[in-house]
Every structure is written in structure tokens, then in C-alpha cells.
Amino acid sequence: MANSRSAEKRILVNKKKRALNAANKSALRTTIKKYEAALEHDPANAPAHLQKAIKALDQAAAKGLIHKNAAARKKSRLTKNLAKQA
């Protein structure tokens, strides 16, 4: 339990930020899964889904949700999968 008013405020702020981070990370994973599903079932639309996934990864890295090198690695792997399909 918090000992001061400022500590109570920090707990509330941290709770809100944690919820937002979880939602954003979940949305990122959903975007990537949609791309992978499109790659498997609808290859014609896969490049459009790849662009959305890359944008989502860049935004997540900019917000500090994931590390920038992790975003670069994931983008590279997703792009490589698209090239492998073609």
C-alpha cells in the first residue's frame, strides 16, 4: 500500500499506462497475425497487410513498446516471408 499521496497517484498512472501498453501490444500482435493469415490465404493482399504491420512495428518502437532492433528484426523476417512466397 502507498505511504503518500504522490505514491498513490503513481500507482494510478502506472495502472493506466500498463493497460494502454497491453492494449497496444495486443493490437500489434493482431496486425502481424492478420498479415501472416493474408500471406497464407490471400497472397494478393499480403503486401498491403505487410505495410500495415511495418507501420505498427515502427509506431510501437517509437513509443518504446518494443525495442527498435526488435522491430527491425521482425520487419525483416516478415518481408523475407513475403519474398519467399513470391
Sequence ranges of the domains in the chain: 5-85
Q: Taking a C-beta distance cutoff of 8 angstroms, is the pair 10, 16 a contact?
A: no
Q: Taking a C-beta distance cutoff of 8 angstroms, is the pair 34, 45 a contact?
A: no
Q: What is the pTM assigned to this prediction?
A: 0.89
- Helix ranges (DSSP H) in the chain: 5-41, 46-63, 68-85
Pick the CATH number of 5-85 from 1.20.58.110, 3.30.460.20, 3.40.640.10, 1.10.3720.10: 1.20.58.110
CA angle 15, 65, 79 (to 5 degrees): 150
Which of 17, 56, 49 lies closest to 34, judged by CA?
49
pLDDT tens for the chain, 86 residues long, are: 889 999 999 999 999 999 999 999 999 999 999 999 999 999 999 999 999 999 999 999 999 999 999 999 999 999 999 999 86
